[in-house]
Structure 1
């Protein structure tokens, strides 16, 4: 049996500890696609039919390949899990079942945390004692999380939010920007 194992130096996934399932999902799907085993996770995958005398060898070979692909897929999914999560899911033999369980748990959990994302955005405050660029970066990370939810905030609104959240020491700069005739782009800001 010749198993497909991806070169770990070329593409190594970080250990998944339960945070940022979206990132794991994207990377895992890419890796399993490269290995040509992503089909194992397809919910529409039909079971292999029982062989007849006519096509016995073909069906047996197909079944053997499918079992090898499931083993590779299961190994790579389990291999990316932290030790704690590995211990929780190692008893499940089906890679599809492991994946669906992870997807259900961490997608549901993510929906709960997304409720507070908008609140964090509105309540975000900048302070004089922290570098402004670091604080702008924090705000832009929040905005990028909105994009994951398919909520797009236009750049002019992001610039205006940054201006509104500038600390008191930046009032003169804020007034100068507000009185400009043309809109300033996010990159220029």
Structure 2
């Protein structure tokens, strides 16, 4: 018995493209959406030798078609730099194994990356301040979800430091308040 992709493919249009930083989330969504079914060997009324050959040819064609479909889905849901990196792989399994090896195991690398993004974040004057505060909150949530721990006082004080230079008077005023933010 072989496993083949079902002819009815899920709608993956809402799947965010893999950029190398979201592999865990991306791969879980992709695996959740896949539709695999067990397909028995092709029944035939000819002798065993001929049946084996016909079955092998049919299985090989079906595998090639499914491999092309899955490879296409994987590549179409990657950012351009990752697409360029993996487009030369021959099979979907090679691509999947390479992605898991590169992005699936290294939680320490993921933690370093998200903390780096959180630290690098800086507010600017030409964007609405609340939009930027929400962006900072989202970065903070990502840092916390990868297992990093930090208290709210640290989060709040770092946010103050992220304010644009034009907000320095307001930042200083908030820093010198007696109450916690």
Give the deviation of 1:91 after TM superposition: 4.3
Q: In the alignment, what sits opposite 1:187? A: none
Q: In the alignment, what sits opposite 1:153? A: 150
Give the deviation of 1:114 after TM superposition: 4.9
1:138 aligns with 2:135: yes
1:92 aligns with 2:94: no
**Hey, which of these two has a bigger chunk of strand by percent?**
2
Give the deviation of 1:151 after TM superposition: 1.0
Give the deviation of 1:107 after TM superposition: 4.9
Q: In the alignment, what sits opposite 1:172? A: 173
User: Contact between 1:128 and 1:169, CA under 8 Å: does it hold in 2?
Assistant: no
3-state SS of paired residue (1:99):
helix
1:5 aligns with 2:2: no
CA distance in 2, matches of 1:116, 1:19: 8
CA deviation digits over 1:26-81, x for unaligned, max 9?
3212212xx136x9xxxxxxxxxxxxx9xx99xx8xxx6x9599646445334434
Q: In the alignment, what sits opposite 1:21? A: 23
Q: 1:157 to 1:69 in 2, by over 3 A?
A: farther
3-state SS of paired residue (1:101):
helix
Q: List structure 1 segments (4+ residues) > 6 angstroms apart after TM superposition.
A: none
Q: 1:128 to 1:168 in 2, by over 3 A?
A: farther
User: Contact between 1:16 and 1:24, CA under 8 Å: does it hold in 2?
Assistant: yes
RMSD of aligned residue pairs (Cα, Å): 4.6
CA distance in 1, matches of 2:126, 2:74: 43
CA deviation digits over 1:80-104, x for unaligned, max 9?
34677278446423x3332011222
Structure 2 unaligned segments of length 5 or more: list them.
39-47
CA deviation digits over 1:136-177, x for unaligned, max 9?
23322332331343113344432243245444121324434x
Q: 1:133 to 1:112 in 2, by over 3 A?
A: same
TM-score by length of 1: 0.52
1:105 aligns with 2:106: no
Larger CA deviation: 120-129 vs 143-152: 120-129
CA distance in 1, matches of 2:114, 2:85: 31
1:77 aligns with 2:65: no
3-state SS of paired residue (1:141):
helix
